Amino acid sequence: MSTFQQPPTTRIRTERGQNRESLVAALPWIGPVLILIFGVVLFPAAYMIYNSTRRISQAGTDVEGVGFANFSRVLADPNLPRILLNTLVWVVVVVTVTVILSLALANFLNKPFPGRTLVRMAVVVPWAASVVMTTTVFYYGLDRDYGIMNTFLVDIGLLDSPYGFTKNVATALGAAIVVGIFVSIPFTTYTLLAGLQAVPGDILEAAKMDGAGKVRTYFLVVLPQLRSALAVAVLINVINVFNNLPILRIMTGSLPGYSADTLMTYIFKVLQFDRRLDLASALSVINFAIVIVIVAAYVKIVKPMRED
């Protein structure tokens, strides 16, 4: 007994028709999301790229198209190498130290001890508080004349006299890095804590039965299970820290010149003080391209969603 089979061409047309019908049926559900993506992501990005190829007056008037002249001008800026170096140091140090400290804190919070719930709640405080408020507290606390942190360092003998931490490029960047780590730890800790709590207990029991010690079990069993959580935490931290403006704007914004700037604060100065929307747009495109390259390379190399 033979069954009727459609020719390949007819079957392909039928499948395409079914796919088209499914897409039409799904539009009422995915339509608002597509509109949101276009309005919040695609349109601003496209408009930013368009502005980067225009000459815009300080009054905001679109004068003419200039091609890639804005890019040539910002790339020729002698301050750019120092700004890129500051950006690299800022991102690498904050993300690395944050992940290391958060991993240790997540392991601690994963253990049962009296008052664990209160400690977990306390960890959220820097995350729940305003970044601007937190940074301002650190900024004035480190003030040379009336900063409470400065006074404390003198009282305990670490400093002979009050020091202007926010008046020097190296110490201002260092203070900004400390604040960046402080406000990044809560999210990273909870991400890694969720990963630790998802480690199957039978795997740990099997490692124990096989005679593996605590250190070996942690590095050979627990850490591989944390691969996805670690990858997501690092990726989101890289993006957030790279694009961070409030912390650096407050901690290093009073310093003259561009010696303490990252790409984000440099864009802010070009936009606010020089009132050059075209140059700021060109820098934003460069900033956006760097982030895309970093994310693409990271996902390609690390493969965060790969199962071990």
pLDDT value of residue 126:
82
What is the pLDDT confidence band of residue 1, given thresholds at 50, 70 and 90?
very low
**Cβ–Cβ < 8 Å for 252, 260:** yes
Over residues 227-244, mean pLDDT: 90
**Cα separation, 277 vs 77, whole angstroms:** 16
What is the pLDDT confidence band of residue 299, given thresholds at 50, 70 and 90?
confident
Q: Is 244 among the domain residues?
A: yes
Percent of the chain with pLDDT over 70: 91
Q: Is 33 among the domain residues?
A: no
Backbone angles phi, psi at 213, to 5 degrees: -75, 180
12 has a pLDDT exceeding 70? no
Angle, CA of 264, 286 and 231, to the nearest 5°: 75
Count: domains in the chain: 1
Q: Is 12 among the domain residues?
A: no
**Cα separation, 146 vs 139, whole angstroms:** 11
User: What CATH code is carried by the domain that includes residue 263?
Assistant: 1.10.3720.10
**Cα separation, 101 vs 27, whole angstroms:** 45
Q: What is the pLDDT of residues 17-29, one digit of tens each?
A: 566 667 677 777 8
Would you give the DSSP letter of residue 161? Answer: S
Helix residue ranges per DSSP H, 2-76:
8-37, 43-52, 69-75
pLDDT value of residue 16:
63
End-to-end CA distance of the chain: 48
Would you give the DSSP letter of residue 39? Answer: I
pLDDT value of residue 242:
92
Q: Is 77 among the domain residues?
A: yes
**Cα separation, 133 vs 131, whole angstroms:** 5
Over residues 97-104, mean pLDDT: 94
Strands (E), the chain: 54-56, 62-65
Instruction: Work out whether the CA dihedral 138, 140, 142, 147 comes out positive or negative.
Output: negative
**Cα separation, 224 vs 109, whole angstroms:** 19
Instruction: Work out whether the CA dihedral 243, 246, 247, 252 comes out positive or negative.
Output: positive
Q: Please, what's the largest Cα pairwise distance for the chain?
A: 99
pLDDT value of residue 214:
75
Token pair in block for residue 173: 């960047």
Residue type, 271: L
Q: Is 165 among the domain residues?
A: yes
Q: Nearest CA to 167 among 74, 290, 273, 260?
A: 260
**Average pLDDT score over the chain:** 84
Q: Is 122 among the domain residues?
A: yes
**Cα separation, 218 vs 107, whole angstroms:** 10
Angle, CA of 167, 173 and 174, to the nearest 5°: 105
Range of the domain at 202: 70-302
Q: Is 295 among the domain residues?
A: yes
pTM: 0.82
Of residues 60 and 300, more confidently modeled: 300
Determine which of 3-17, 107-121, 205-219, 233-247 has the lowest per-residue pLDDT on average: 3-17
Q: Is 29 among the domain residues?
A: no
Token pair in block for residue 168: 């020097």
Percent of the chain with pLDDT over 90: 24
Determine which of 11-15, 118-122, 149-153 has the lowest per-residue pLDDT on average: 11-15
**Cα separation, 105 vs 136, whole angstroms:** 25
Determine which of 23-37, 109-123, 218-232, 265-279 has the lowest per-residue pLDDT on average: 23-37
